[in-house]
Structure 1
Amino acid sequence: MPRTHPWEVSDELWVQVHPLIPPAPSHAKGGRPRMPDRQAIAAIVYVLRTGLQWNALPRELRASSTVHDRFQEWEQESLFRALWQAGL
């Protein structure tokens, strides 16, 4: 059976990735709820695997600007280096 959502992150991958994700910054002043980390990593992996442009991201994965902002945040926190070093 073909996958209907190729961007979904498997439970096995999530178990390995989740401990490496840096803590979310404080939003003490309020604002919109933060996009779940699992959804963000799924969207980022989808873009990186397909070579898709950020602005062509399927809307069901959230706004491309939100996903790109999280990518930049995690890049500054060296998440992707940690994933690489962990062999993921």
Structure 2
Amino acid sequence: MQRHELTDKEWDLLAPLIPSAVTGQPRGDDRGVINGMVYTTRTGMPWHDLPHRYGPWKTVYYPLLPLCAERCLHPGPPADPGPS
């Protein structure tokens, strides 16, 4: 395990939440893709500079887009402004 990657314990919690591919070509290594997402977001590096051990940068980047769009469109409740 490299720095900025999920531990086995973290992966055991996350793996059951990842849906399986229903149609089309079987997906590759889900853990590698998730680790690539974690690595890039924790280090702040450009996607094009993603280390090869995580696979092609587009394979890691594109599954993350819907999550980013959902968070940007629905950022959660506004911060509490405190006492008036």
TM bucket normalised to smaller: 0.5 to 0.7
Structure 1: gaps (5+ residues): 79-88
In the alignment, which of 1, 11, 14 is matched to residue 11 of structure 2? 14
Q: TM-score, normalised by structure 2?
A: 0.66
Moved over 6 A (4+): none
Q: Over alpha carbons, which structure has the higher Rg?
A: 2
Structure 2: gaps (5+ residues): 71-84
**How far did 1:20 drift?**
1.6
Distance 1:55 1:11 in 2: 27
What amino acid is the match of 1:10? T
Percent sequence identity over aligned pairs: 33
RCO greater where, 1 or 2, for CA within 8 Å and sep 6 or more? 1
In the alignment, which of 31, 55, 61 is matched to residue 48 of structure 2? 55
Distance 1:70 1:55 in 2: 15
Q: 1:58 to 1:41 in 2, by over 3 A?
A: same
Q: TM-score, normalised by structure 1?
A: 0.64
